[in-house]
Amino acid sequence: MQLELDMMRRLALAALLILLFCCARPAAAQTCYATVNTLNFGNYTGAALDGVTTGTVTCAGGWTMPMNAGLGVGATETTRYMTALGGAELAYKLYTNAARTNNWGDTNGNELTGNGNTNVTVYALVTAGQTVAPGTYTDTMTSATATYTVIAFIPATCTITATTLAFGNYTGALINQTSTLTVNCTNKTVFDIGLDAGTATGATVTTRKMQNGANLLNYSLYQNSTHATNWGNTVGTDTVQATGTGAAVPFTVYGQLPAGQFVAPGAYKDTITATVTY
């Protein structure tokens, strides 16, 4: 009778062990989170522009952090695009290191890896030489649980330089000469070039005057080689309008010194201010 009781206890124990083994739950899989701050490049003017932002990874163990291609049309994990109103795009790149040599992508070997709770840095670059329209360019990047915005702003800018307009020796006969204005405006920027009346007493944009002391010598400036269209300083009326390409563009100023002026000998000069309005 005792033997049967012991055997029953052993069977009961064995059944209990099997019950516990069958119903034990496996350890839960770790959950990791990432956050990344906005990446703001600031103003892009055509030179290479570095950008940087930071984030955090919260994870109990090892982790891998991919970075997708973003939302730009034609974007890849190596060349991403910010987009402005109208669909214009500005290319940029993301890296895992400050030297900007290790691309940060979403395929094996291009991802960032680490272990435990960690601060992360996103290194970025807008490559030089891109000529796109002014405006605000944005992209949305997604990495693991993090979604963040990439921003760059292209301001409308213009520069202008001029060569001297030299008529040479005037003997009373008509003289035509030219000078060159060189304007460089941001791509797609509409601009107007105006020429003021100069510095001589009584000069206007239609009758300019070179001066030698109290002596004056009249001359005119035109937009065309036929000397038919005056070049003045009122936008929309007598200025020259064009659209920037991001490259330097030359404009010819056609000067004319009318015949029949009999003035005292000497050196006559004037200073014209050229203004770009955009």
Q: What per-residue confidence (pLDDT) applies to 144?
A: 74
Is residue 194 located within the same domain as residue 90? no
Is residue 135 located within the same domain as residue 192? no
Q: What is the pLDDT of residues 252-273, one digit of tens each?
A: 999 999 999 999 999 999 999 9
How far is the C-alpha of 80 from the C-alpha of 101, rounded, in Å?
16
Q: What per-residue confidence (pLDDT) applies to 23?
A: 28
Total domains, the chain: 2
How far is the C-alpha of 218 from the C-alpha of 261, rounded, in Å?
8
Task: Note whether 9 and 3 are within 8 A (CB).
Answer: no
Tell me if 16 is assigned to some domain.
no
Among residues 154, 170, 194, the one where a domain terminates is 154
How far is the C-alpha of 158 from the C-alpha of 141, rounded, in Å?
32
CATH of the domain at 177: 2.60.40.1090
What tokens does 175 get?
């003289």
Q: What are phi and psi of 261, to 5 degrees?
A: -100, 125
Is residue 146 located within the same domain as residue 162? no
HSE (CB half, 13 Å, CA atoms) of 19? 6
**CA-angle at 259, arms to 257 and 262, nearest 5°:** 100
Q: How many CB atoms lie within 10 A of CB 49?
A: 19
Is residue 123 located within the same domain as residue 45? yes
What tokens does 143 get?
């990495």
Is residue 190 located within the same domain as residue 147? no
Task: Note whether 90 and 84 are within 8 A (CB).
Answer: yes
Is residue 98 located within the same domain as residue 40? yes
How far is the C-alpha of 149 from the C-alpha of 135, rounded, in Å?
16
146 - beta bridge partners?
A: 143
Is residue 149 located within the same domain as residue 210? no
Helix (H, G, I), strand (E, B) or coil at 156: coil
How far is the C-alpha of 204 from the C-alpha of 212, rounded, in Å?
17
Listed residue (132, 83, 81, 78) closest to 105, CA to CA: 78
Tell me if 110 is assigned to some domain.
yes
Question: Which amino acid, residue 66?
Answer: P
Among residues 154, 170, 197, the one where a domain terminates is 154
- 166 pLDDT band, cuts 50/70/90, is very high
Q: Does pTM top 0.75 for this prediction?
A: no
Query: What is the extent of the structural domain holding 59?
Result: 33-154
The CA R_g of the chain, rounded to the nearest whole Å, is 37
Q: Which residues of 68-84 are buried (b: 16+ CB within 10 A; e: fewer)?
A: bbbbbeebebeebbbbb
Is residue 115 located within the same domain as residue 222? no
Q: What per-residue confidence (pLDDT) applies to 143?
A: 84
Asked if the model's pLDDT at residue 94 lies above 80, the reply is yes
Q: What per-residue confidence (pLDDT) applies to 256?
A: 98
Q: What is the pLDDT of residues 36-76, one digit of tens each?
A: 999 999 999 999 999 999 999 999 999 999 999 999 999 99
Q: What is the pLDDT of residues 118-148, one digit of tens each?
A: 999 999 999 999 999 999 999 999 987 889 9
Q: What per-residue confidence (pLDDT) applies to 28?
A: 42
